[in-house]
């Protein structure tokens, strides 16, 4: 067989840069007055990507502009060519703390007289990420949280979670609403401190090509977690794939994990950040700079190195083992560590994977469930003209596809065996086979699959609650999906009982997409 070549090329994204968005806010007649801010430089802004399949210079965008001092936000909805004319909307969105905020909060914490002594004390990123406080006048104060790990504490309290008011430089050592058991210490890896997680730059997006001899097998865009959709507002989507082509044919326009929830049996729930990159082990070269590594051996996340939270790399790593290309990153949400992983087979099959681990913390020894929701925007042979079908276990040797013509959701249960999305003209597409350990949704997980008509702004559920529960059913309004542009949401549910661990290896879940 001919040698396999993997090439990586940096590609700019279409959208508003932070500088251009800040300028647009300064020129907007209502934005600064709505936030009661005179200086746009104090606002938190981020890159605002163009929305839609192939965004051009006049593509729509939406962006949340946040004032960390006033703890208020507004949302702009407009077009990339005229952002200063965007529609202005109030927003309840509060972005998670940035790396710079966490480092600044840690400096304030360490200067406090009550900060514990000892070389083994670690200041880390806990859950929840914020513990905002309300003032008597109804305004609120933004307060990032920090975990303080003191393994040698004489009282046995190894974990404390504090809230830091960055504006007034005030520390709350017992913030209300933080539900953790401070005397417990679960898992083994000592968390990396917030100071060690600096982002060293590098491109947000690259084009990846896989050739076997003269044949191009795969051609796709890969977006690293820190820039993945949805953000601004949103919590990212892990490693994001775009414009996925196999042997020259378009199959997926976008694929990511925009919703990631965890629910504890005792009642605590979290909606997790899927954009915060952390360190793992990857050996190889960096063809386009920091954050993108072409590996000579398989990269190893915390799942493969279960006793360390450290590593020599932060970003997205690629490795081809002779049969498939693995695209992997490790992301952090508080003490949780997640492996965001895609496997692209030389035969055209795709295996989305998500893995679950944690560093030492006071919570994960309690029984809980993780719920990961993949959003798969299928564009078989191009946008539109796709059909969704369910294949049931009828005892027949020949599969009997049942068309699904209206938006709906489904559970993974008998008689359903698998589903498929096909182009109506060519018949090409993908079968969606459930993973062996993907589970079935409980009441909190809501459902297992949703089949929806594509809408550019439906990148996540908006996290409307209650209890961070996935609210994808709000998109079910009976639209016709027969011959339409189809989006499939696929949910995997991972049950974690540390006292009675599941027997399967690696704590990985995810379906298999089989090429038709």
Paired tokens of 433:
């086979």
**In Å, how far are 20, 127, 253 from 256, measured between CA atoms?**
27, 23, 11
Residue from 192, 114, 85 nearest 149 by CA: 192
Looking up tokens 């959709």 gives 229
pLDDT computed for residue 339 by the predictor: 96
The H-or-E segment that residue 388 falls in is: strand 386-392
pLDDT computed for residue 133 by the predictor: 96
Report the C-alpha dihedral over residues 197, 199, 200, 204, rounded to 10 degrees.
Answer: 140
Paired tokens of 88:
């202005």
- In CATH terms, the superfamily for domain 205-515 is Copper amine oxidase, catalytic domain (2.70.98.20)
pLDDT computed for residue 506 by the predictor: 52
Q: How far apart, in whole angstroms, are the C-alpha atoms of residue 467 and residue 84?
A: 35
Q: By CB neighbour count within 10 A (0-12 exposed, 13-18 middle, 19+ buried), where does 51 fall? A: buried
Paired tokens of 93:
């969105």
Please report, for the chain, the start and end positions of each structural domain, with discontinuous segments joined by +: 4-91, 99-179, 205-515
Termini Cα distance of the chain: 23
Residue from 151, 347, 327 nearest 238 by CA: 327
Q: How far apart, in whole angstroms, are the C-alpha atoms of residue 445 and residue 210?
A: 36
Please check whether residue 244 is in contact with residue 469, taking contact to mean a CB–CB distance below 8 angstroms.
Answer: no
Report the C-alpha dihedral over residues 48, 52, 53, 58, rounded to 10 degrees.
Answer: -80
Residue ranges of the chain whose pLDDT lies below 50: 504-505
In DSSP terms, 403 is beta-bridged to: 389
C-alpha Rg value of the chain to the nearest Å:
23
Pairing of strands 140-141, 72-79: unpaired
Please check whether residue 373 is in contact with residue 491, taking contact to mean a CB–CB distance below 8 angstroms.
Answer: yes
Please check whether residue 324 is in contact with residue 343, taking contact to mean a CB–CB distance below 8 angstroms.
Answer: yes
Secondary structure of residue 295 in the 3-state scheme: strand
Q: By CB neighbour count within 10 A (0-12 exposed, 13-18 middle, 19+ buried), where does 90 fall? A: exposed
Q: How far apart, in whole angstroms, are the C-alpha atoms of residue 232 and residue 65?
A: 8
Q: How far apart, in whole angstroms, are the C-alpha atoms of residue 482 and residue 455?
A: 15
pLDDT computed for residue 505 by the predictor: 42
Q: How far apart, in whole angstroms, are the C-alpha atoms of residue 463 and residue 447?
A: 16
**In Å, how far are 110, 204, 467 from 5, measured between CA atoms?**
49, 22, 46
Please check whether residue 318 is in contact with residue 282, taking contact to mean a CB–CB distance below 8 angstroms.
Answer: no
Q: Counting every residue, how long is the chain?
A: 516
Sign of CA dihedral 112, 118, 121, 123: positive
Residue from 9, 5, 64 nearest 34 by CA: 64
Interval 85-132: pLDDT, tens: 999 999 999 999 999 999 999 999 999 999 999 899 999 999 999 999
């Amino acid at each position: 067989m001919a040698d396999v070549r993997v090439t990586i090329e940096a590609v700019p994204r279409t959208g508003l840069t932070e500088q251009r968005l800040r300028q647009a806010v300064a020129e907007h007649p209502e934005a600064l007055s709505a936030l009661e801010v005179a200086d746009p430089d104090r606002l938190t802004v981020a890159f605002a990507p163009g929305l839609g399949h192939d965004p051009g210079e006049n593509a729509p965008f939406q962006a949340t502009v946040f004032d960390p001092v006033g703890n208020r936000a507004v949302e702009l909805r407009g077009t990339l060519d005229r952002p200063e004319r965007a529609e202005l909307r109030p927003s309840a969105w509060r972005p998670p703390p940035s790396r710079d905020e966490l480092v600044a909060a840690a400096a304030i914490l360490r200067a406090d007289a009550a900060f514990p002594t000892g070389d083994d004390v670690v200041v880390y990123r806990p859950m929840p990420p914020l513990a905002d406080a309300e003032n008597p006048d109804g305004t609120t104060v933004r307060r990032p949280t920090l975990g303080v790990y003191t393994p040698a504490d004489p009282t046995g309290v190894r974990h404390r979670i504090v809230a830091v008011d960055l504006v007034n430089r005030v520390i709350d050592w017992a913030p209300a609403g933080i539900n953790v058991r401070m005397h417990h210490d679960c898992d083994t890896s000592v968390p990396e401190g917030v100071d060690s997680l600096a982002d060293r730059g590098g491109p947000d997006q690259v084009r990846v090509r896989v050739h076997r001899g003269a044949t191009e097998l795969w051609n796709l865009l890969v977006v690293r977690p820190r820039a993945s959709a949805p953000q601004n507002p949103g919590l990212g989507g892990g490693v994001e794939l775009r414009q996925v082509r196999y042997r020259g044919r378009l199959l997926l326009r976008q694929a990511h994990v925009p919703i990631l929830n965890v629910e504890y049996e005792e009642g605590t729930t979290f909606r997790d950040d899927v954009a915060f990159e952390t360190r793992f082990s990857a050996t190889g070269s960096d063809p386009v700079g920091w954050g993108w590594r072409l590996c000579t051996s398989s990269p190893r996340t915390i799942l493969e190195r279960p006793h360390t939270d450290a590593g020599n790399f932060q970003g997205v790593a690629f490795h081809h083992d002779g049969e498939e290309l693995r695209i992997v990153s490790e992301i952090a949400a508080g003490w949780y560590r997640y492996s965001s992983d895609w496997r692209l087979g030389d035969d055209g099959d795709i295996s989305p994977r998500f893995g679950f681990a944690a560093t030492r913390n006071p919570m994960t020894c309690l029984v809980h469930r993780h719920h990961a929701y993949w959003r798969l925007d299928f564009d078989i042979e191009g946008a539109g003209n796709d059909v969704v079908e369910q294949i049931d276990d009828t005892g027949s040797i020949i599969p009997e596809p049942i068309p699904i013509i209206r938006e709906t959701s489904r559970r993974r249960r008998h008689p359903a065996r698998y589903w498929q999305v096909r182009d109506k003209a060519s018949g090409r597409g993908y079968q969606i086979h459930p993973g062996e350990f993907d589970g079935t949704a409980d009441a909190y997980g809501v459902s297992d699959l949703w089949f929806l008509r594509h809408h550019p702004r439906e990148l996540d559920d908006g996290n409307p609650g209650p209890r961070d529960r996935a609210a994808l059913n709000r998109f079910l309004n009976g639209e016709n999906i027969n011959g339409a542009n189809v989006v499939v949401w696929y949910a995997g549910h991972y049950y974690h009982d540390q006292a009675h661990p599941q027997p399967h290896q690696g704590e990985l879940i995810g379906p298999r997409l089989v090429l038709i």
